[in-house]
């Protein structure tokens, strides 16, 4: 990882990788979501309303995955003072918040025909809402520290502290029985309660959204580094 600590080396790799992630992700999203919406059979009990799963599940996955990435970047910043760690954390925060919001909205739309209500204060939905607020707090704190010229250590500490919410989200359907269904896919055991003709487009769409998420993060990191370079050049010109 330290081999990519040099911003110039990172930018060289990111420029080449971004279009592959972006276009590859869009292609997989089109295949997975398209098949799920138009070809995959309706669910036995929920009917066609279950098709929102092809957006809802990847959004939930990336909402949690985004904060996991922030935690890793925060750890690297605090322990090794990796020069790109703070940049990566800021780049992850906005798309992570966006997909968390998509998860909450799509879940509410799915809940109306499935449960008869748009919202229920159960463990899963409440902890996801908390995650969205954590994202907002991280974005505001990172912006404030950067404006003051700080290293972002306080933001990194906040990023690590917020990981407490991730296991709560994951195990909430086990700890508190409520309207939200239990876990349908067990990655560790390789088990799934979803039929095969619905599972594979869901996995394809999840991979596609993940690749597209990665492209967004790469573009945001490149933009952040370019902005920093321009600001440094303007300061040198002002001092000359």
List, for residues 124-153, the tens digit of each pLDDT value. Answer: 899 999 999 999 999 999 999 988 877 789
pTM of the model: 0.89
> Which residue in this structure is represented by tokens 């748009």?
118
What mean pLDDT do residues 101-112 have?
91
> What are the pLDDT digits (tens) for 175-220?
766 666 666 555 544 545 576 678 889 999 999 999 999 999 999 9
What mean pLDDT do residues 64-90 have?
93
- Cβ neighbours of residue 228 under 8 Å, at least 6 residues apart? none
Q: Is the pLDDT of residue 121 over 70?
A: yes
Strand, coil or helix: 185: strand
What mean pLDDT do residues 215-239 have?
84
* 132 token code pair: 């969205």
What pLDDT score was predicted for residue 238?
Answer: 73
**Residue-wise DSSP of 24-52:** HHHHHHHHHHHHHHHTSPPBTTTBGGGGG
Element (H, E) at 80: none
> What are the pLDDT digits (tens) for 156-181?
999 999 999 999 998 877 776 666 66
What mean pLDDT do residues 24-38 have?
95
Domain membership of residue 65 (yes or no) is yes
CATH of the domain at 161: 1.20.120
Domain membership of residue 98 (yes or no) is yes
Domain membership of residue 3 (yes or no) is no
Q: How many C-beta neighbours within 10 Å does residue 156 have?
A: 27
Smallest CA-to-CA distance from 166 within 64, 69, 96, 72 is with: 64
Q: Which residues of 23-56 are buried (b: 16+ CB within 10 A; e: fewer)?
A: ebbeebbebbbebbeeebeebeeeeebbbbbbbb
Domain membership of residue 1 (yes or no) is no
What mean pLDDT do residues 109-123 have?
82
Q: Say if residues 133 and 41 touch (Cβ distance below 8 Å).
A: no
Domain membership of residue 16 (yes or no) is no
As to burial, measured by CB atoms within 10 angstroms (0-12 exposed, 13-18 middle, 19+ buried), residue 176 is middle
Domain membership of residue 103 (yes or no) is yes
Domain membership of residue 4 (yes or no) is no
Query: What's the number of domains the chain is made of?
Result: 1
What pLDDT score was predicted for residue 20?
Answer: 97
Output the average pLDDT for the chain.
86
Domain membership of residue 2 (yes or no) is no
Range of the domain at 138: 21-38+48-239
């Amino acid at each position: 990882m330290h081999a990519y600590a040099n911003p110039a080396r990172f930018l060289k790799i990111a420029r080449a990788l971004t279009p592959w992630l972006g276009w590859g992700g869009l292609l997989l999203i089109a295949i997975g979501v398209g098949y799920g919406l138009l070809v995959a059979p309706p669910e036995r009990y929920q009917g066609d309303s279950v098709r929102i799963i092809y957006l809802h599940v990847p959004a939930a996955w990336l909402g949690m995955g985004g904060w996991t990435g922030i935690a890793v970047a925060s750890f690297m910043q605090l322990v090794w003072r990796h020069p790109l760690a703070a940049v990566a954390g800021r780049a992850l925060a906005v798309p992570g918040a966006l997909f968390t919001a998509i998860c909450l909205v799509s879940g509410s739309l799915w809940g109306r025909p499935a449960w008869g209500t748009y919202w229920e204060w159960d463990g899963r939905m409440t902890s996801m809402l908390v995650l969205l607020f954590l994202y907002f707090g991280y974005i505001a704190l990172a912006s404030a520290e950067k404006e003051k010229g700080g290293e972002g250590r306080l933001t990194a500490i906040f990023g690590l502290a917020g990981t407490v919410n991730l296991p709560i989200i994951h195990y909430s359907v086990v700890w508190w029985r409520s309207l939200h269904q239990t876990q349908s896919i067990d990655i560790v055991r390789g088990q799934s309660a979803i039929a095969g003709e619905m599972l594979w487009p869901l996995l394809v769409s999840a991979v596609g959204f993940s690749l597209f998420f990665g492209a967004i993060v790469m573009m945001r990191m490149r933009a952040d580094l370019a902005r920093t370079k321009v600001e440094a050049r303007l300061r040198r010109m002002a001092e000359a």
